[in-house]
Amino acid sequence: MTDNVVPLFKDPLNTADTIPAAAPAPTAHDAVRPVRVWRRTGRGLRAAVTSEQTRAAARLVARHGMYVIGGTRITAKRTWDGRTASRYERMIRAAEAGGNFEEAKEWEDRLTRFRAARHHRRMDLLKAPQDAVKSAAYGTGLTAGGLLLLGIVLAIANKDASWILAPIAAVIDAVGAIVYVATVVWGPAVTVGPWLALLALWGVGRQKQTAPQWALPAQQRDDVGAPITPSIVVTALRDLGIAPLRNAIKEMGDVGAAMLGPIRIAGCGVEVDVTLPSGVSTAEVQGRRRKLAENLARHEHEVFITLPAAARTVRLWIADSGALDEPIGPSPLVTDETMTANYRTGKAPWGQDLRGDAATLSLYQRHLLITGLSNQGKTAALRALALWLALDKTVELRIADLKGVGDWGMFDGLATTLIQGPTDEHVIQATEMVEGMVAEMERRIQMPPGTVFDPLVGIVDEAQVAFMCPAVGDDKRPYGGSKATSRYFMAVRKIHNQGRAVDVILEEGTQDPTDQNLPKLVREGAHTRISLALGTESQARMALGDKAVDGGAAPHLLRQGLDKGTVVVASDGIKIPAGQASITVRTHYIDTDTAGVIADRAKALRSGIVTAHTVPDAAEHEPLADILTVLGTETRVLTQEVLKRLAALNDKAYGRWSFIDLKRVLDGTGAEPYKSDGRMVIGRDRLARVLANRPDEGSASAAE
Ligand SMILES: Nc1ncnc2c1ncn2[C@@H]1O[C@H](COP(=O)(O)OP(=O)(O)OP(=O)(O)O)[C@@H](O)[C@H]1O
């Protein structure tokens, strides 16, 4: 068979030759199947319809179309409102829906007056045709007569009778000219007029932004951070999902904004009071904070809902978008190097409230509790207050930091006691420190009424470690827990109950509160309650109390990790807007190094402070050595001051000492108290000599 002959039948004899050894793999070309025309057309159409240009064009057409439609609607409504009583009726409905019956009555009076005036106008209109005919007849007669008279005067003046009709002819010519001009202008006016009217309607619609959001250009469509206007607030409230509120706002129509007070600039946001219609509770609005924030194109943390004094009113504070994430400036404690403090009359500069005003906190005779999740800035916030207190040299600080990573290290040489560490041993020392404060408190309480005491402020950071401590003392009393035998708990309770009046104050910082690590009685014993970001509302209630949370305090809505240093405060020591139960403060951050600089300034204001790093055992002490220690570097120190410093050094041993005890241990040593400038003092050099020459006899008890 030649090459150009195609066999129609398989050659049965030569099958092996015709069957290829292996079938060739199908090529890519073989796999491509032709695409049907209708499918290709469909794809093309879809691409064209969904392309960004097409969508932009559709939006453009819809937008400008809606401006015209909206403008027409608004103009028609205005005209209708101007001619009918509908405006008055709408205002009455709005006032009634808002529960403002006084205002409703006022509008009703206005409506009655409007109807009476309209009735008069209509009655006048009935007589109008006769009046018009009469007026026209009089007018024509008078005008013709006048013109004729003018013509006669002109004829006499010109001595020419043809002047008599000249004025009338001139008027007829003028009317002719006007008619001529009108016929010329009419054609183009009829053509252009409707377009001008359309332009005017479009202008009204554009001004009032009647196009829907989706039809706006991309940059205007992104309404995140858009300025807050009454209509945005009213729409946000309407769409909250509270049926009575939605219905009332619908009833009110355009005048829903009557519910709002003026929108005021308040710090990095705006503030507006909303008087809710009857049937809507403030709690319902508070419970929908997230939805309200979303409706206002804000994040939840950027909207705060509080309850001012006025009934049925919520106060909304709405941050400028992103403004809360901007840092606030440095603390005045850092910038003002000359700053000193006054525990009694002063207020610690602490941060800024949301309105951007300085937030200052009085610590005078108020026990304080600050809680928050871990790493939210609790220690920094508490330490900032302690640093301010340290700038009042009359304040004695005793500090136990039960974390002990050096956050409070700068108080070495400033606080009279500084315990740093997380172990049971540290808890035992912290407990003894607080018990020492109790002893001092009881001593003060027994002093004659009216005695003025220097403030004694105890600070326990990470106090939850103390409450959770499993250690039990020799007397079988546990250090931790919240039983009547729990030592830390009972000491704290005693100070909470009686310390305030004698200026023995306790400030505690705790983490992630629970009923176990922060017992109820301890929470409620604090006058100033502060919370950083927390996990749940029930924790917020533990931290700040039910009253504050019911009044809108929401530390559980602060963002963990993002709102570091932002605190919600319930206290009468800080200025809280009338009617509110709490205030949100963004605290200034003072880092550990800067805190060291401020602490150095505080140390320079004081002298001779010796910090005890453990609470000494009353049984083991050496009075002469201790006196030398508390004299510090000063040449001589008043005996009264020595007694005070001794009590601070070892309250158990020296807390009840008087001048007699001091004299007793120094008598016969050669370092007895002596008079200097008329006051009893103890000289450092004399005592140092006594101790240097004394044979080493170990420690002695005060009782010896
Ligand atoms: N006011 C503030 N502003 C901004 N950032 C802050 C502020 N306060 C604290 N921070 C940041 O938070 C971090 C943790 O602060 P801090 O140690 O005070 O938290 P804490 O709540 O005490 O932590 P922990 O519970 O673990 O002891 C700081 O290192 C700092 O970066």
Predicted pLDDT of residue 501 = 92
The interface pTM score, or ipTM, of the predicted complex is 0.97
Residue 565 CA to ligand 1 center (angstroms) comes to 6
Do 209 and 236 lie in a common domain?
Answer: no
Do 273 and 194 lie in a common domain?
Answer: no
Residue 610 within any structural domain of the chain: no
Q: Which amino acid is at 106?
A: E
> Which residue range is the domain that position 669 belongs to?
616-693
| pLDDT, tens digit, 9 for 90 and up, residues 286-318 | 889 889 999 998 888 888 888 887 888 999 999
Residue 30 within any structural domain of the chain: no
Domain boundary among 270, 290, 325: 325
What stretch of H or E contains 644? helix 639-649
Cα distance between residue 447 and residue 438, in whole Å: 14
Do 386 and 505 lie in a common domain?
Answer: yes
Cα distance between residue 700 and residue 695, in whole Å: 13
Tell me: pLDDT of 508 over 90. yes
Q: Taking all residues of the chain, what is their mean pLDDT, rounded to a whole number?
A: 86
Do 416 and 495 lie in a common domain?
Answer: yes
| pLDDT, tens digit, 9 for 90 and up, residues 591-631 | 999 999 999 999 998 876 777 777 666 566 788 888 988 88
Q: Name which residue sits closest to atom 30 of ligand 1, judged by CA.
A: 377
Q: Which of 240-249, 391-400, 689-698 has the lowest mean pLDDT?
A: 689-698
Do 368 and 356 lie in a common domain?
Answer: yes
Question: In the structure, which protein residues have their CB atom closer than 6 angstroms to any atom of ligand 1?
Answer: 372, 374-380, 403, 511, 564-565, 587, 589
Q: Which among 418, 506, 520 has a CA at the least distance from the CA of 467?
A: 520
**Ligand 1, residues 459, 564, 594: which to mutate, most atoms within 8 A of Cβ?**
564
Domain count, the chain: 4
Sheet holding 679-683, edge to edge: 636-638, 679-683, 674-676
Residue 82 within any structural domain of the chain: yes
Do 453 and 527 lie in a common domain?
Answer: yes
Number of H helices, E strands in the chain: 26, 17
| pLDDT, tens digit, 9 for 90 and up, residues 157-211 | 998 888 898 999 999 999 999 999 999 999 889 999 999 999 999 999 888 878 8
Domain boundary among 187, 222, 257: 222
Do 249 and 205 lie in a common domain?
Answer: no
Does residue 365 have a known ligand-binding role? no
Cα distance between residue 257 and residue 246, in whole Å: 13
Q: Which among 680, 703, 702 has a CA at the least distance from the CA of 626?
A: 702
Residue 402 CA to ligand 1 center (angstroms) comes to 16
Residue 36 within any structural domain of the chain: no
Q: Which among 266, 262, 288, 289 has a CA at the least distance from the CA of 275?
A: 262
Q: Considering just the CA atoms, what is the radius of gyration of the chain in Å?
A: 45
Angstrom CA distances, 205 to 70, 78, 255, stand at: 5, 13, 18
Residue 593 CA to ligand 1 center (angstroms) comes to 14
CATH number of 658's domain: 1.10.10
Residue 6: pLDDT band (50, 70, 90) is: low
Do 227 and 213 lie in a common domain?
Answer: no
Cα distance between residue 548 and residue 677, in whole Å: 55
Do 319 and 343 lie in a common domain?
Answer: no
Residue 22 within any structural domain of the chain: no
Predicted pLDDT of residue 92 = 87
| pLDDT, tens digit, 9 for 90 and up, residues 108-132 | 999 999 999 999 999 988 888 888 8
Q: What is the DSSP string of 315-359?
A: EEEEEPTTGGGSPP---HHHH-TT----TTT--EEEEEETTS-EE
Average pLDDT over residues 472-487: 92
Residue 32 within any structural domain of the chain: no
Residue 194 within any structural domain of the chain: yes
Domain boundary among 603, 629, 648: 603
Residue 427 within any structural domain of the chain: yes
CATH number of 274's domain: 3.30.980
Predicted pLDDT of residue 616 = 61
Do 72 and 122 lie in a common domain?
Answer: yes
Do 406 and 514 lie in a common domain?
Answer: yes
% of the chain surpassing 90 pLDDT: 50
Helix, strand, or coil here: 209? coil
Predicted pLDDT of residue 7 = 55
Residue 29: pLDDT band (50, 70, 90) is: low
Tell me: pLDDT of 15 over 50. no
> What is the value of pTM for the model shown?
0.63
Predicted pLDDT of residue 617 = 61
Do 313 and 340 lie in a common domain?
Answer: no
